[in-house]
A and B are shown apart, each in its own frame.
Chain A
């Protein structure tokens, strides 16, 4: 366990080096959100309705803002690409020679990166949230706060599981990089990052909500938005947990089989 602690510490300090660029790029991240929010303003004004898809305008605004928080936990930039290139370019062998488990190593690295990001982004995020305080749902109850933290952590695990699994496909397909691009696009839509999934027509919605992607972004955001009853929120967390377990097992199986293949082909 100690070696992963060292990995964690090194990753932590490595991340802190980039603090200069960090502040600006965090604010820039809100630009697309502003655009989307202005579009929704136009839609609400045009419809003349108080609610669209079950959400009032202020809730729509906070939905997009909270999505940013959830993505801060769940998004795994370059994880899938990193794994597949490690496999393709033979970098993986380096890890195999060391007494270290590749996937655990990656998890440790990610947690460190996420931790630094979340701590450093807390400042800019608070400023934006304070500016938008009229739109926010208000302070959560104790129960809701606990549920929110749990669902965010599970969102992180889920994001890691899905992306790692996609990356491990590199054992079987050489050109996995362009596939990852397709996957990212689909994820943007299916996870509720683009717009709340509740807006989808019922026929489509019931299927989309069955996929793990909805539990990456849409449901955690709805919990933080205080739009789910405690019972429903607990159901969501349970399903999230089940998905994490399923992905953990699937990832292990893919890893073991992939390694056998890797060894057979000589890397």
Chain B
């Protein structure tokens, strides 16, 4: 008998929602905070483009689109996976991982999706709004193909971030005290926020290379935005899709090894 993952997922969604309802104030303040953050970023963009016509080839409207895309990617990740990845080291430390391991369902699935952070989703419409506004400003028609590729790349980006963070988090089986998942996420977000081209001119492009091919966080917001408002680079698109699949697969392998180790080493 297979566990019915769809039904489990629906129950995760419901329980998280019920939990959210018990902290009503929390939701409103969170949304307010996110909107405040967007306002600040918009002011920053205004400041930037008051001084320069473009940032490494990105015009103000294109930059706005990049920002919207970045919000989409990060808020989807934060809503579904961030809290769960963050919780893993806690589960290991307290021994509550045992409860997850005895359940008759895939452990990685249970670990990755149990808690949904709904307030983070408030940024999805804001991000979409920014993208839409920017497209209007650019005044360029987008094809259905472009939009579906954009959606696919958003999924791939979230998958890449998930695989990296989850892999890092499950390693807490080996190293209980470590620089937290929250730090790694903070660094990933700060690196991916701006146009990737700014790294091209630094240290002979070494950093750019590292952030594209070694710790591939640079393309997560840039590439979907590129496809919509700048150039379509087929090789990069193919590369990112492959990276997403490979990294997710690797995360399942690392999870498997980590849990086996946990079960032979813990008392």
Contacts and interface: CB of A to CB of B under 8 A. Distances in A.
Interface centre among B26, B36, B51, B202 (most CB of A within 10 A): B51
A25 interface: yes
B2 to A, nearest CB: 39
Given A32-B190, A42-B198, A185 B51 contact: no
A99 interface: no
A61 to B, nearest CB: 12
Chain A interface secondary structure, helix, strand, loop or mixed? helix
B197 interface: yes
Given A25-B179, A32-B190, A175-B25, A182 B32 contact: yes
Nearest to B188: A31
Given A25-B179, A175-B26, A195-B44, A47 B52 contact: yes
A194 B39 CA distance: 13
A24 interface: yes
Interface residues of B, number: 38
Contacts of A35: 190-191, 193-194, 198
A49 to B, nearest CB: 7
A53 B201 CA distance: 23
Contacts of A31: 187, 190-191
Interface in A216-234: none
A52 B50 CA distance: 10
A28 to B, nearest CB: 7
Interface in A1-37: 21, 24-25, 28, 31-32, 34-35
B48 interface: yes
B36 A42 contact: no
B187 A28 contact: yes
Interface in A193-210: 194-195, 199-201, 204
B30 A24 contact: no
A43 interface: yes
Contacts of A32: 186-187, 190-191
B25 to A, nearest CB: 5
Contacts of B202: 34, 38, 41
A40 to B, nearest CB: 9
Nearest to B40: A189
B199 A38 contact: yes
Interface of B: 23, 25-26, 29-30, 32-33, 36-37, 40, 43-44, 46-48, 50-56, 177, 179, 183, 186-187, 190-191, 193-195, 197-199, 201-202, 207
20 contacts: A31-B190, A32-B186, A34-B202, A34-B207, A35-B191, A42-B55, A42-B195, A42-B198, A42-B201, A44-B52, A46-B56, A47-B51, A178-B26, A178-B29, A178-B33, A179-B29, A182-B32, A185-B37, A195-B44, A201-B46
Interface of A: 21, 24-25, 28, 31-32, 34-35, 38-39, 41-47, 49, 52-53, 175, 178-179, 181-182, 185-186, 188-189, 194-195, 199-201, 204
